[in-house]
Structure 1
């Protein structure tokens, strides 16, 4: 009989869910039975991707951004008592799922309460150093203490100097069992002819996703070229709007998005880590606008700009003419072997 493996991504934007797609596919390919557990848009996305896989709703962290990014950290700190209660509810739900569905292993992508001391439990993260300004030491220590509850930590990156996550995923000292498994992407590169001059990819928590959407829809009205605009809003049905030179989608499924990225000359998006992994896999040129107040995205965007790979700017500073910088940068590319899921699963489950 196949082993039931619980896969639980955080509902924070869409990145945690989308990078679990290759993990779930690999589990199915190697004879395991994945069971998906999440909430909100992340759960809805994975239900669309895997309609025949059992899915379960977990308690929601309900984290939202502030309109002013500089206040976000303090909002999180203020929310800690509520978050701790939710994590306790998550632990209780996990225990019930394990008993009810005879779970043999857990893969948690940044869900703090989804683990068990009785079965192998894996934590996926690219942030072993959690940047938070003057409180980085505290947020990092807290995160690493949480990871200690798991048997292993899988880092979706490569070890060594030529990597994608920089200091986020490469701490100077660590006492946690870790494995650099290689970047996780649901996409495959195809040498397609470019049909789109620019692809806009949005996602992430509100209200910042909507704030950027409104800004870009105004800025791109005068863009000279064909634009595909994906809002990153997961809904029951796909919608398509034609707006002058733009075709606007609420969301795309993985096969459609893979095809669209491959057929697009340039990409404009947030600097979320999953997006960076996807664009590196597909060898794309891009422009990044990090989410205001999200230290991780601000660091990744700055690092890639300093390496002359991808230009970037602050959200309130973006102007249409800045997209011209893209052609002066190298773009993203990281040539690494595919993730060895067979060994990863076999050694743990």
Structure 2
């Protein structure tokens, strides 16, 4: 598909003229000339492939997130025309997606194998979904906003559907007002949720026109509207045990992020400061490969952000020590294992802040992919 070609999109429930719009801030003509559009999307479509190869290509593309299957009794060589357009706003990813019917699963093994544990916000434009988390099934339909954690297993199925998805790093929602705690696999409701949908309509229509200076404000506005929706929604009714585990997990995540650079960030310190037992801590973080593994991965991501920042000219060894590694050799081995390239190569990536990149996920020359955007989300802002 050509870079400037828009894939076919299904008609929505309401036309653009029927939806209220949040106007973009007005700029003088000279300001517009100085601020060209900042975002260029990462596009993937199976439509140009042979029908028999379409589903396998889609499986491979979404593999970092979920495993997908065709509906029962559907031949594996059946056509699967699907479109995926990702936009990287630095502190948030926006994905426009069209897919035929399929089922999906984010297994415990997949959660444990990668570091993609963001919040996923889903808005269906048309179609229906059914997503199950720990026995609780949430039905998605147009007009609903669903929120779930990518750090917890789920599975479900979808009819032919068009959707808008947001991927938000957990840090973005760390300071939700107390005593509100975000629960998993919920449908948001209320006036703020309606306002959120209207605002996302406007954001989607302006993705190709936003200037770089717009993007932090867009991310912050979306974040504030989600927090307001969560705080006022009456749809938070998951089980007490799951709620307790998720609350403790979020507290540990916040503590780890606040103390990444400390050489004294240990299991003992976490348990002491948060008042939880080692057994409880190990149980909750077993799905992430253990507490030590989780901390190391967060440190590696912090180092990756520093190395990829064109304005940061610190020595690699200084960056390694700053994020809590005590050995240059250990840091280099761990970094290469996590990202598939060395710290020195990461320095040459120079991923720009708040700017999306055009890159083919399968191109050997491309520095970026949707998987990399997911992994490093939230570290370039």
Higher relative contact order (CA 8 A, sep 6+): 2
Q: TM-score, normalised by structure 1?
A: 0.26
Larger of the two Rg values belongs to structure: 2
